[in-house]
Amino acid sequence: MNVILQPPNDDAIKAVVIMYGWLGSIEKHLKKYADLYTNHLLQKCAVVYGTASTSTLIFRHDEELAAMAMDSVRKAAAIIRQIESSSSTKAIVPVVLHYFSNGGAFVAEKLGQMIQDAISAGGQISTKKNKHDKGDADDLKLIHERLNKKGFEVLDSSPAYLYESTYFRCIDMAVPSLPLRIIFKGFISLSTVYKKIMACTNQQERVDVIFWQNMMESELCQRQAFVYSTADVLTDFT
């Protein structure tokens, strides 16, 4: 699910990066960015990176997003413990969270929710289908601690407000098959109408509003960098 890329010498690793890709990105796309971290002249990093499947991101499958986030946390936590147990300097290894577009933001949003669950539930977290043990909760707390102590969060072309038109542009870029694009767009249109009706009926916030609030009020990390490009046709950089 998530790939690990790290320098051959553990002693050279100064940080662990968790990287989530954009809708439609594949391993070779993300590896170019991961290489920038592993080959940095001064601060070499280990990188755990991956992208949730297209269907998971388009339909925002909660269980699959949770599985993606938890897999990256387990792998990052294992690297941190390995480095710190073998290091003679007792240095604390920080975590950098780097994610691209809303495809990465959806996973990061789920990661933030799981971390809060682990902190508030006293060692047990769960989703609808997946129950995680105390070891997973400890890993989540470790990543949270390292993000907040010395870590950094990079929001790359992210977040983008969940306008229907934004969904359509992302589908056009990520899905090569025209019939699939038509199906996905039809589902998004029907789903958007349905969710607006249900939110109004139940007097609840809409999904797009909740996502935006979660991103704006996120407490994953106190140090953040927002990276946008005026050439980006998918993300509203304003």
pLDDT tens string 139-148: 999 999 999 8
Q: Give the pLDDT score at 203.
A: 66
In this prediction, residue 233 carries a pLDDT of: 65
Please report the pLDDT score of residue 191 as a whole number.
Answer: 72
Would you state the pLDDT for residue 3?
92
The 8 Å CB, 24+ separation contacts for 30-33 are 30/3, 31/3, 31/5, 33/98
Q: Are residues 45 and 133 in the same domain?
A: yes
Residue 40 CB coordination number (10 Å):
13
Residue 190 structural domain? 164-201
Q: What is the pLDDT of residues 2-19, one digit of tens each?
A: 899 988 777 778 899 999
Number of domains in the chain: 2
Place of tokens 């050279």: 12
Winning range, highest mean pLDDT, from 111-125, 145-159, 223-237: 145-159
- Residue 221 or 132, more confident: 221
Which tokens go with 217? 């009020």
Please tell me the distance from the alpha carbon of residue 115 to that of residue 96, in angstroms, as a whole number.
15
> Does residue 152 sit within a domain?
yes
Residues 32, 112, single domain; the answer is: yes
- My answer on whether 41 and 136 are in the same domain is yes
Higher pLDDT, 182 or 18: 18
Q: Mean pLDDT across the stretch 180-204?
A: 74
Give the range among 28-32, 154-158, 185-189 with minimum mean pLDDT. 185-189
Short-list 222, 234, 231, 220, CA closest to 159: 234
Q: Mean pLDDT check: name the lowest of 141-145, 202-206, 224-228.
A: 202-206
Residue type, 18: I
Give the per-residue pLDDT at 199: 67
213-223: average pLDDT: 90
Of 61-65, 119-123, 176-180, which range is least confident? Answer: 119-123
* Reported pTM: 0.83
Q: Are residues 156 and 168 in the same domain?
A: no
Number of CB atoms found within 10 A of residue 178's CB? 9
232 assigned to some structural domain? no
Answer positive or negative: Cα dihedral of 169, 174, 180, 186. negative
The pLDDT score that the predictor gives to residue 129 is 47
Peptide bond before residue 159 is cis, with ω within 30 degrees of 0: yes
Report, as an integer, the average pLDDT of 108-137: 76
The verdict on residue 97 lying in a domain is: yes
Half-sphere exposure (CA, 13 Å, Cβ side) for 219?
Answer: 7
Residues 38 and 131 in one domain: yes
Cα torsion through 180, 211, 94, 78, rounded to 10: -50
104 has a pLDDT exceeding 50: yes
Please give the DSSP secondary-structure letter assigned to residue 161.
Answer: -
**Is the residue at 209 inside a domain?**
no
The answer to whether 22 and 49 are in contact (CB under 8 A) is no
Are residues 96 and 176 both part of a single domain?
no
Examine the pLDDT at 151 and tell me if it is beyond 90.
Answer: yes
